[in-house]
Amino acid sequence: MKKILIVALVAFSLHSFAQKGLHLGVMGGPQFTAQLNKQDSDDPNVRFEGITMRSAFGIIANYHFTDKVGVGTQFLFSYQGMKYENLAGVEFFRKVNYLKLPILLHVNSSPDKVVGGYFYIGPQFSFQIGNDAEINGVSQKGTLFYPVYDDIHKGVTIGAAMGFGMLFNAMDGKLQPHFGLRLDGDFTSVYDDEKATIVLSSYGANSRGATRNVNGLIEFGIKYVLFN
């Protein structure tokens, strides 16, 4: 039995990684999104509406420079935020949209297998491209409140991303549909925390603390290997 396991592990190590080449494709899907803040979670006057669903989509570009590893990025348009309500039943939806640019280490399964897997991980830079605040489903853009709300957002957040799932090889491994789970989170705060204390919180100055984005994307995509 041990010999069989050793042979299987050796075979996997020889055949479970991607071919060399430039991989280009598209990806997207529904996304679970949240903004984590300790003051919000401890506030008895705030009720969160379970999981907030939004979406993300974009372009994949990576290059496998050995049979085992590659590097790449994603140009991902990501729609994020948090839904919650107060004890009076007023519903709030803080929305914020980003262009995400991660730098990713890739490991993909061999193109000689019909069904395989993929994994990637790396740092991520998220550039804000828009935001909104909704109260009971009504956008606050155009109100006196919105310029103040817009001003509290940071233009860039820094975090990390990882993804894993299954891929399918067609056309001798040239065409690779895939699906899986992409997870990411920020190390830095969504907001200028001093300004956010005044606008979003009833706590004293400088007490609000960091608010960090976290997301889980159900990822669907397809890649094409241009050369190898």
The residues, any chain, with a CB within 8 Å of residue 161's CB and separated by 6 or more, are 100, 102, 104, 120, 121, 122, 123, 124, 182, 183, 184
For 157-191, how does the pLDDT look when each residue is reduced to its tens digit (9 = 90+)?
999 999 999 988 887 768 889 999 999 999 999 99
Task: Pull the structure tokens for residue 165.
Answer: 């799932």
Alpha carbon distance 207, 196 (integer Å):
10
Specify the range with the lowest mean pLDDT, choosing from 90-94, 101-105, 125-129.
90-94
User: What domains can you pick out in the chain, each with its CATH number?
Assistant: 2-225 (2.40.160.20)
Closest CA to 161 of 116, 228, 87, 101: 101
Closest residue by Cα to residue 186 from 98, 70, 119: 98
What contacts 195, CB < 8 A, 6 or more positions away? Answer: 151, 152
Pairing of the two strands 212-225 and 46-48: unpaired
Chain segment 114-165, per-residue pLDDT in tens? 888 999 999 999 999 999 999 999 999 999 989 999 999 999 999 999 999 9
